[in-house]
Amino acid sequence: MRPGFSFSLPVTVVVSVIAFVYFCTVFVFIHRWFGLMTSPGVINALVYTGIAVMCVFNYAVSILADPGRVPSTFMPDIEDSKVSIHEIKRKGGDLRYCQKCSHFKPPRAHHCRICKRCILRMDHHCVWINNCVGHANYKAFFVFVVYAVIACFYSLVLLVGSLNSDSQIDEQQSDSFRVVYVISGLFLLPLSVALSVLLGWHIYLILQNKTTIEYHEGVRALCLAEKGGTVYEHPYDLGAFENLSSVLGPSIFCWICPTKRHIGDGLRFRTSYDTIPAASK
């Protein structure tokens, strides 16, 4: 668990929205469409509760887990034959060194000005989890977004179905729930779109084995390479399936769980150069 966890208004807002959407979905949409005492109602309530529990659990892990701390003893070994590449500064060509933390930066690590320390395989700092998204909690963050998207669309389907069934219910009783439907719709529609875009973006990044920072760095490197007449290739791109496995785990059955035994120490990563000798045999 990361140290220094404190109250965060954005996190409180997210938790409140999750609780509100869950309450409306189970006790309004499902209840008014199927009835909570019927078999379809019980099944839908259990399924949605399971999705909500996984969503909240992964959200908690992404908040509480330390995203990855650079060991104070870390020192890059330029003579290590197992390390195919060493990341250097764009200006000067020296090994990357953090003046603020007073230590060398491992590959893919970056300094976060909000957390005030270097983060292993840093993707970005997310205010909605009051934490950096980095090496140790990236998968939990991604899986949280997956479950959040599923929950939003599931809730929208139940909302629409509940509205259709309301035509057969007493008009006066239906009016009393109109505010709940309106507020829920105003939450769910933009939330579903925003989370879907976020999920699509991170699926793209995972398939390329990039972080958000590396994507923007790659755009600059691509422009410079084109000006110099060369071709830029992302060094950590191992192929779609290997990229998925390196982030989500070797077993496809564990992809939707926040496991992290497969991620290593975050101080070194496989590169496309490591696979060239094996592929040429």
Q: Residue 146 is encoded by which pair of tokens?
A: 């997956």
Residue type at position 195: L
Q: Residue 61 is encoded by which pair of tokens?
A: 């892990």
Would you call 126 a catalytic residue per the annotation? yes
Residues in CB range of 31: below 8 A, 6 or more apart:
41
Alpha-carbon gap, residue 241 to 206, rounded angstroms: 10
Alpha-carbon gap, residue 24 to 30, rounded angstroms: 9
Alpha-carbon gap, residue 206 to 133, rounded angstroms: 14
Burial 160-188 (b: 16+ CB within 10 A, else e): ebbbeebeeeeeeebeebeebbeebeebb
Count the alpha carbons within 13 Å of 40 in the hemisphere toward its beta carbon. 9
Q: What DSSP string runs through 94-147?
A: PBPEETTTTEEPPTT-EEETTTTEEETT--EEETTTTEEE-TTTHHHHHHHHHH
From the candidates 98, 101, 112, 126, which is the catalytic residue?
Answer: 126
Alpha-carbon gap, residue 188 to 201, rounded angstroms: 20
**Any idea which residues carry the catalytic annotation?**
126
